[in-house]
Amino acid sequence: MTALHWSTLREVAVSPRHARWRADHPRADTPALALGRAVHCAVLEPERWARDYRREPEWGDLRTRGAKEARAAWRADLPPGAVTISAEQHALAEICASSVRAHVVAAELLRAGRAEVTLEWLQPHPRTGREVECAGRLDWIDPNGRVLDLKTTRHTSLRAIEADLARYLYHGQIAWYRQGAGRSGACPPDAAEPVLVVVQTVEPYDCVCLRTTQPIYAAGMALVDRLLATWLDCAEAGWWPGLAPGMLDWELPRWADEAEVSASGEVEW
């Protein structure tokens, strides 16, 4: 089995079958993912951003021969490793990077450290202690071992941002990274709490820094332990149950008006 990543483990929260499927069938790339990578590079690796990212010109009508030839010639001259993005995405990534650097706390967190740090470690089964190979990549780690994770959002309120962090299980992700950093020796046991830096990709392009408190970290570790135990138990059994491997009684959602539903027709049993 290849090293286990959080991107696979988090899918166990949907179902083991879903996680197994995603492990074998990675998601296709999307413009949103490409923008996220661009923002990460602009914020965390400004030298690579300036060197590798290229703003694609406006070619006009690509149905014409001239526009097609101009684009082909421009792309042929790109250096190895160059990443092309639209002018709009390029400008947005730079705005986000400027916003992060203008935030006093975020700027201090990013003053010194390493970006895109690859980790490999052994994580024990929460019950049996059997170890599994795991891997991850930290967005940023400072010289004292503090872990930082950069997120983008389209939300403009703090309450909506925090709701999204919970919805996408980021408390589990940050606990996973912190565990990996500790077990791989990238950070000491007494390193400061991990921090999420969240920057808006919509006006006013605000930035917030959220410290992982002990209760949130504990909740994240409990989630990691539950998902990991399920994944390892399923792997050992060779059985990956879906949403409902047995019979269920179906239920109407809360918003459904049962009176209207029953009035629409009678069912005889």
136-152, pLDDT tens digit by residue?
Answer: 999 999 999 999 999 99
pLDDT at 13 over 60: yes
Domain ranges, ordered by start, for the chain: 6-27+94-240
Kindly report the average pLDDT of the chain as a whole number: 91
Compute the C-alpha angle 17/21/24, nearest 5°. Answer: 145
pLDDT category of residue 261 using cuts at 50, 70 and 90: low
Chain segment 176-225, per-residue pLDDT in tens: 999 999 999 999 999 999 999 999 999 999 999 999 999 999 999 999 99
pLDDT at 37: 95
State the pTM of this model: 0.86
Give the mean model confidence (pLDDT) for residues 93-121.
97
Q: Yes or no: is domain 6-27+94-240 CATH 3.90.320.10? A: yes
pLDDT at 266 over 80: no
Candidates 225, 223, 193, 224; CA nearest to 210 is 193
- Distances in Å between the alpha carbon of 39 and those of 90, 99, 178, 185? 9, 11, 22, 28
pLDDT at 58: 81
Which residue matches tokens 């309120």?
157
In the chain, the amino acid numbered 242 is G
Phi and psi angles of residue 248, each rounded to the nearest 5 degrees, phi first? -125, 150
